Structure 1
Amino acid sequence: MNLPPIHREFVLHFGEMGSRWGINRTVGQIYALLFLSAEALNADQITQSLGISRSNASMGLKELRAWRLVRLKRVDGERKDHFTTPDDLWEIVRTLIEERKKREIDPTLTTLRALEMQGASLDAYSEARIVELRKMIELMTEFYEDMARLETEKLIRLMTYGSRIAGVIDKVGGYLPATRS
């Protein structure tokens, strides 16, 4: 890699973590490189910096664009496409969560609902577990959607309250809204 030592360490770490998060190591490294870069980079700069093939860079950029984590940026006087990450860290986190929800949570809910509709073919215990899991995931999804609607500043304030919110809930009482059935 043709990078300063701290950049190299960050990029290598992100590549390693990417493989644990279910993405290709190179995709994680490309993202990390773009994340740290003050300027938008073209595919040739990425290949040179990371020591990867042009096709690897192209495939990684395509995947990152599909996840909406990398943006195409036109550079005056340049014919090559340049790429960058959003500047707002909260936008990046929100995008990651939304994309993971679309790819992982939504299909799981669809499957659980379909299985629940076939309930007669399940034993009572299995059916109850599927219903319980669906309700829990729907509750978490509703919470996520409520948080996603919050302005970033309000979300940050809410997060800084942390466990103090549990104390408020204890003082208010044991009210629990009915979950969807």
Structure 2
Amino acid sequence: MELSPTTQKFVLHWGEMGTRWGVNRTVAQIHALLFCSNQPLNAEDIADTLNVARSNVSNSLKELQGWGLVRVTHAVADRRDHFVAHQDIWDIFRVVMDERKKRELDPTLALLRECADGAKDDPALDTATHAKMAAMLEFMEMLMRAYDDFKHLPPATLKRLLKMGGTVAQFLGSDSKDAKP
């Protein structure tokens, strides 16, 4: 499969961005390739197109399936598995956010709660550090509540909300004690 220069640029960049987000480059490139593809691809086509080892493609596809970003489909008269990526950008965003929350934020929140409980019985913990941990816990809990509120909104509502940008902040007004210079 020959990629157009623009598609190739997108796939390569998505791989680069994946590494910055803590995702394996090949995993991100395969996701980008499947997202851009107008038909399901089998692992051999993916390996040939990206010039990566078939075993790397297989492991990467399992990871993408684990994240829920890619699913298996089948083609008539072809026994091989073919793969397709979610095509709805809002769906991709939700899947990634849910997985990142589950893998990164939920364990952090659990640890912060554990530290808050342990702080009560830790005479060596100074007051300033305890206050910082409590503020972090309060922030994370507020962030998770907001996430839970927003994750169920339909894409059209989220889009309108995002387009409003600073208008919401202007409507709510500024609390001068919270404002940063």
CA distance in 2, matches of 1:3, 1:109: 43
Shift of 1:77: 2.3
Contact 1:18–1:24 (8 Å) recurs in 2:
yes
CA distance in 2, matches of 1:10, 1:87: 15
Aligned residues: 173
Q: Where does the alignment leave 5 or more consecutive residues of structure 1 unmatched?
A: 175-181
Shift of 1:2: 4.5
Name the residue aligned to 1:53. Answer: 53
User: In structure 1, which of residues 153, 156, 160 is the aligned counterpart of residue 156 of structure 2?
Assistant: 153
Structure 1's consecutive aligned runs of 4 or more residues displaced over 4 angstroms after TM superposition are none
Q: 1:123-153: per-residue Cα shift (whole Å, max 9, x none)?
A: 2211111111011011111111111111111
SS at match of 1:83: strand
Contact 1:61–1:70 (8 Å) recurs in 2:
yes
Shift of 1:3: 2.4
Name the residue aligned to 2:179. Answer: none
RMSD between aligned residues? 1.7
CA distance in 2, matches of 1:87, 1:25: 20
CA distance in 1, matches of 2:42, 2:62: 13
Name the residue aligned to 1:84. Answer: 84
Name the residue aligned to 1:26. Answer: 26
Contact 1:2–1:50 (8 Å) recurs in 2:
no
Q: Tell which deviates more after alignment, 54-63 or 71-80.
A: 71-80
CA distance in 2, matches of 1:137, 1:36: 35
Alignment of 1:51-130 (within 5 A): 51-119=51-119, 120-121=121-122, 122-130=125-133
Structure with more of its chain in strand, by fraction: 2
Contact 1:2–1:48 (8 Å) recurs in 2:
no
Q: Tell which deviates more after alignment, 101-110 or 143-152.
A: 143-152
SS at match of 1:105: helix
Q: Where does the alignment leave 5 or more consecutive residues of structure 2 unmatched?
A: 177-181
CA distance in 1, matches of 2:8, 2:158: 32
SS at match of 2:22: coil
